[in-house]
Amino acid sequence: MSNILSGLDTKEKLRGSKVLITGCAGFLGYYFLTFFSQFTELLGIEQVVCIDNFLLGKPLWFEKTVSEIGNKLKMVTFDIAKDKFNKLGEIADADFIIHMASIASPTFYRKYPLETVDANVWGLRQLIEYYKDKPLKGFLYFSSSEIYGDPSQQHVPIQEDYRGNVSCIGPRACYDEAKRFSETLCYLYAKLHNMPITIVRPFNNYGPGMKLDDKRVPSDFANAIMNGGDILLYSDGSPTRTFCYVSDAVTGYLKALLYGKFDYFNIGIDKPEISVRALAEIYVEKGKLITGYKGAIKYEKHPDTDYLTHNPTRRCPQIEKAKQLLHYTPIVEVDEGVGRFLEYLKTEREHTGV
């Protein structure tokens, strides 16, 4: 948290402001709420309003983190796609908006495809329509690196101007295409109403706050380590990714929030690009050191036949734009990050017994 704070060279913009966060009970919500709980007074923030429909439940950390923010936090159970935003009244008055409300795990957005579309399209439309004539200082929209689809080799590392190779039909389309269309909405409202909307495209975040039953690769591997099971690979292990530790990612997101004008940025880490098999080997190595892990890496077919449909072969960002305009510099490489993640999980288990 201190590293995030020190990385914000324009944090004075938050003084005297009100912040509204949608989708606050998700993985990234853990870091945003923890950050604001620790530094609300120091940053001079007047109020943090958090809304979520809790479709996937409340994570273990949620109540504790919310209570630590105290009377400067207002928590509202609210469906951004179905409930009427203007009924929130004065608590909706905000200077900064962080719009994260969406399911991000492929397993769960395939389970709730229409809810995923609705949060990204109708939820976003409702938000920007409500705030289009209000004096916002910043509006952060969480898109996804999934908008690039499965890029050809000559387009990796992926730059922001790459138009993507995405199917509008298939098990991932509800998420991928909803994010793509939402970026168009952001662009139009920024252009027509001069809204300070900044889009971020996350690349494979992981770390504390990620639920062990999240069903994405970093959490699946961590779950195996913490519960003594084998790490299961449902592909041949050759697809490659870069993995961005969550504190680096959140630093980038906050920098984008404070940027205060329309633009779009890849937020992730550009090295090392490693195979899923290599990531599993890092988990095994760190697991042995931290928990005494004795499991193995095994290959199996996933029971969901659509699990690997349209799964990208490579996913690695070009982040020069964020480096230049946001002064964004991720520093935690994957071997260190996995160790931090497992240390966190071990400490939490020791403290909570869960």
On whether residue 56 sits in a domain, the answer given is yes
Which percentage of the chain shows pLDDT scores above 70? 98
Helix (H, G, I), strand (E, B) or coil at 171: coil
Q: What token pair was written down for 347?
A: 């400490």
pLDDT in tens, 81-98: 899 888 888 889 999 999
Point out which residues pair with 241 in neighbouring strands.
274, 315
The domain tally of the chain equals 1
| Cα 248 to chain centroid, rounded | 12
**138 pLDDT more than 90:** yes
pLDDT at 17: 95
pLDDT in tens, 330-345: 999 999 999 999 999 9
pLDDT in tens, 266-317: 999 999 999 999 999 999 999 999 999 999 999 998 887 777 777 889 999 9
Full residue range of the structural domain in which residue 146 is found:
2-210+243-270+313-333
On whether residue 317 sits in a domain, the answer given is yes
Helix (H, G, I), strand (E, B) or coil at 326: helix
pLDDT at 211: 86
On whether residue 18 sits in a domain, the answer given is yes
- At 253, which CATH number? 3.40.50.720
On whether residue 46 sits in a domain, the answer given is yes
On whether residue 276 sits in a domain, the answer given is no
Average pLDDT, the chain: 92
pLDDT at 322: 98
**Which residue bears the tokens 């949620």?**
62
Nearest to 337 by CA among 294, 293, 274, 295: 274
On whether residue 94 sits in a domain, the answer given is yes
pLDDT in tens, 212-237: 888 899 999 999 999 999 999 999 99
On whether residue 275 sits in a domain, the answer given is no
On whether residue 349 sits in a domain, the answer given is no
pTM: 0.94
- By DSSP bridging, strand 73-77 and strand 47-52 are parallel
